[in-house]
Structure 1
Amino acid sequence: MTRLALWQGAGVPGDLSATVAEVARVTEAAAGSDILVFPEGFLTGYHIPGLAPGALPGVEGALRAVAAIAARAGMWLVMGTHLDDGTTLRNAAVILGPDGREHGRYAKRALFGAWEKATFAPGTTPVSFDAGGLRVGVAICYDVEFPELIRAHALAGAQLVVVPTALMVPHDRVARQIVPVRALENQIFMGYANRAGTEPGLTFTGLSCICGPGGEVLARAGAEPVLLTADLDPAALRAERAEACYLSDLAELTGL
């Protein structure tokens, strides 16, 4: 059994120290979880008008501090953050292990809207890791709206896909409809961790959710900050695939 936790909330944009303190507080509240997922852009803030390379000093140091929090908690943390190497910005999720080490950086592949496309370089490579007895794939927000990206994770063996998100009004249909369908059509678990509150020009929908392999909603948030948890049983994956397994039947249909 794997306990998944999602934090629906926001950090303190522009104040990395205060945001790291919030990470520590939330991680303590999620004690007993195997994996804790934070929303898209949690560490840095998501929507930063005028953001340009070189404008986010201190992010690497803050990530090292978050890694230390993961080690103290004995927990896997998936941290949404913008990454800035001085020449290129990426919208990313960084995987930090209970050993206090970094285990991967995923850069969002499907950039959404004019601001993201003008600000970030898209990622090109999927990222996954093993945690709590499950193979875990990583996607970010708009990625989940492309069935092909989540199907590729499932075909590669992912049993859970976690999705740091900054879903804004009026796009609540993504959280309400698409995420459960992605779980159902791949017979996997999905963990969709959205922001709460507002940023310049944006109001976030909340509606974070954890879905099971039959498309069932195991936990669902409203609009306010909240910690969601659910226990994920690998036996549920086997049971859902026992009579008809979409992935193996697809292979027969297409010769994959």
Structure 2
Amino acid sequence: MRIAAAQTLVSSDIAANGSAIRNMIVAAAASGARVINFCEGALSGYSKFQIMHPDDWRSFDWHRQETELRAIAHLCGDLGIFAAVGGAHRLENGYPPHNSLYIFSEEGALLTRYDKRFLSNSELGGWYSPGTAPITFDTDGYRFGCAICIESQFQEVFQEYETLGVDAVLFSSYGIAEYFQIALRAHAGLNCIWISAATPVQKAAKGPAGIIGPDGKWVTQCPATPEPNLVSATLGRDDALYDVPLQKARPWRLKARQGDIYREKMVNDPRSEDRSGY
């Protein structure tokens, strides 16, 4: 299973964003990748950057975004690749949109959509509405989850995905600051999962797109230059490099969290009822 993380230019021109995304999907497919993820707002633009004020959603060209989403879906079907594309998702009754990742399948269909659940303080000021649930999808025997931006600061997001049996989390952000990178490496190592991190070229200097292994180390990263790029890495559960995190640590931590191994130990230990010591 080969996955790719993209670093694309995000502008206020939805059609240009769509073209940049499709070009990168073509490049990823040519490299043998089966899954590629893009940054948040990769298609629609992101709040305070391309969307300058919450009122801008009223004039947002939802028809153009829908057209581009359909074109991306068709390309994924033609090339047999999955793609996670950042974009706003319109809600009814005047609510701000979701900050979402659209997941397209190798069959050219919208497979599912992840709506960012933990919004930043500023996002809650009329920019976006929060989502409510995690999502996972499977391909080639591997399971993926999704997370967006500030969710890197919530360990429960990644632990939940570990309990859902994911092999990798597709993380999409409008910038991967150093403290985001530290957190992502910790989440990958603690949960023994891969994390594919996508960002726009505008933010690459502060943290380029890349892929982290289940040992918490970067496998690969794009150059920290303001140019479109992508990197890819191979996921392998039997990879000898990850024998400890995947074959030993992850199964052991699952047993430890369930707690039975400790209860059995206490039952069989005659000292378990001795509470006289400090």
TM over 0.5: yes
Aligned residue for 2:200, secondary structure, equals coil
Q: Which residue of 2 aligns with 1:16?
A: 14
Aligned residue for 1:119, secondary structure, equals coil
Partner residue of 2:259 out of 242, 252, 255:
252
Partner residue of 2:113 out of 100, 105, 110:
105
The alpha-carbon deviation at position 218 of structure 1 amounts to 0.6
How many pairs align?
246
| Aligned-residue CA RMSD (Å) | 2.2
Matched, 1:133 2:141: yes
In structure 2, C-alpha distance between the alignment counterparts of 1:229 and 1:241, rounded to whole Å? 20
The alpha-carbon deviation at position 204 of structure 1 amounts to 6.8
Matched, 1:55 2:59: yes
Q: Which amino acid aligns with 2:89?
A: L
TM (normalized to structure 1)? 0.88
Given that 1:210 and 1:218 are in contact with CA atoms closer than 8 Å, whether structure 2 keeps it comes out as yes
Q: Which residue of 1 aligns with 2:159?
A: 151
**What does residue range 80-229 of structure 1 map to in structure 2 within 5 Å?**
80-85=86-91, 87-88=94-95, 89-167=97-175, 171-175=177-181, 177-197=182-202, 205-224=206-225, 225=227, 226-229=229-232
**Structure 2 residues without counterparts, runs of 5 or longer:** 264-278
More off after superposition, 220-229 vs 86-95: 220-229
Higher helix share: 2
**Structure 1 residues without counterparts, runs of 5 or longer:** none
Matched, 1:235 2:238: yes
Given that 1:188 and 1:213 are in contact with CA atoms closer than 8 Å, whether structure 2 keeps it comes out as yes
Change over 3 Å in CA distance of 1:40–1:204 after alignment to 2: farther
In structure 1, C-alpha distance between the alignment counterparts of 2:210 and 2:121, rounded to whole Å? 23
Q: Which amino acid aligns with 1:249?
A: A
Aligned residue for 1:234, secondary structure, equals coil
The alpha-carbon deviation at position 239 of structure 1 amounts to 4.5
TM (normalized to structure 2)? 0.81
The alpha-carbon deviation at position 116 of structure 1 amounts to 4.7
From the CA coordinates, give the structure whose radius of gyration is larger.
Answer: 2
Q: Which residue of 1 aligns with 2:272?
A: none
The alpha-carbon deviation at position 117 of structure 1 amounts to 4.1
Given that 1:195 and 1:204 are in contact with CA atoms closer than 8 Å, whether structure 2 keeps it comes out as no
Given that 1:187 and 1:246 are in contact with CA atoms closer than 8 Å, whether structure 2 keeps it comes out as no
Change over 3 Å in CA distance of 1:228–1:116 after alignment to 2: farther
More off after superposition, 211-220 vs 15-24: 15-24
Q: Which residue of 1 aligns with 2:37?
A: 37
Given that 2:10 and 2:200 are in contact with CA atoms closer than 8 Å, whether structure 1 keeps it comes out as no
In structure 1, C-alpha distance between the alignment counterparts of 2:119 and 2:100, rounded to whole Å? 11
Q: Which residue of 1 aligns with 2:274?
A: none
Identity %: 25
Given that 2:115 and 2:132 are in contact with CA atoms closer than 8 Å, whether structure 1 keeps it comes out as yes
In structure 1, C-alpha distance between the alignment counterparts of 2:243 and 2:254, rounded to whole Å? 12
Q: Which amino acid aligns with 1:193?
A: A
More off after superposition, 215-224 vs 150-159: 215-224
